[in-house]
Chains A and B, each alone.
Chain A
Amino acid sequence: EAQVTQNPRYLITVTGKKLTVTCSQNMNHEYMSWYRQDPGLGLRQIYYSMNVEVTDKGDVPEGYKVSRKEKRNFPLILESPSPNQTSLYFCASSLYTGSPLHFGNGTRLTVT
């Protein structure tokens, strides 16, 4: 089944404790992206990747890192999480930039 898989689905952590949210797609998509979704603000792009080893900042990249060492994986790293990073996070992929996005089922992160 074609899908984007995120893990974990739910995560509660404390301020400053490094964490990684994994994202994997099995559709051989070139393009991958991370979004956060907050009430009243909608989906905002954090980082995106056009291809392996090519990543760039989205609209809200502060406090996040990403890497794209393999085509299928695009982990999101929070080196020192803060409470304002409490949010619902979505990974998405598409065949190429501009083609329809396929989303994972989200990771709900709470930072206390």
Chain B
Amino acid sequence: QKEVEQDPGPLSVPEGAIVSLNCTYSNSAFQYFMWYRQYSRKGPELLMYTYSSGNKEDGRFTAQVDKSSKYISLFIRDSQPSDSATYLCAMSARSGGYQKVTFGIGTKLQVIP
């Protein structure tokens, strides 16, 4: 079993829809939770960075962490064609002297105009 599970999609939604992206994890030592967005032929860029359980909102994006269920989500409101990208969840735990980051395999999202 992988430490971080993420459905690879692809996920296609119409413009304006609410998008829900999810990851589950098995390692209860994960402390920090992140979402990265990766456009084609580009490197991942950070979207959201959270530490505790609960919600964090930034514009149209909301990150949700439920440590008791080992489940994190990213919601995108009023989705736009420019949101079409691959979304990677990531989480980190202390391993020896550093915070080791483990990534999900990414969910490919397409927003249809």
Contacts and interface: CB of A to CB of B under 8 A. Distances in A.
Interface of A is mostly: strand
Contacts of B92: 98
Interface string A86-108: 00001010000110111111100
Contacts of A100: 34, 46, 49
Interface of B is mostly: strand
B42 A106 contact: yes
Contacts of A41: 105
Contacts, number: 48
Chain B contact-residue range equals 20 to 34
Nearest to A91: B43
Nearest to A4: B43
Contact of A97 (B6, B46, B99): B99
Among A4, A50, A101, chain B packs the most CB atoms within 10 A around the CB of A101
Contacts of A106: 41-43
B103 A43 contact: yes
Interface in B87-108: 88, 92, 97-101, 103-106
10 contacts: A42-B88, A42-B103, A43-B44, A50-B98, A90-B44, A97-B98, A101-B101, A102-B46, A103-B45, A106-B42
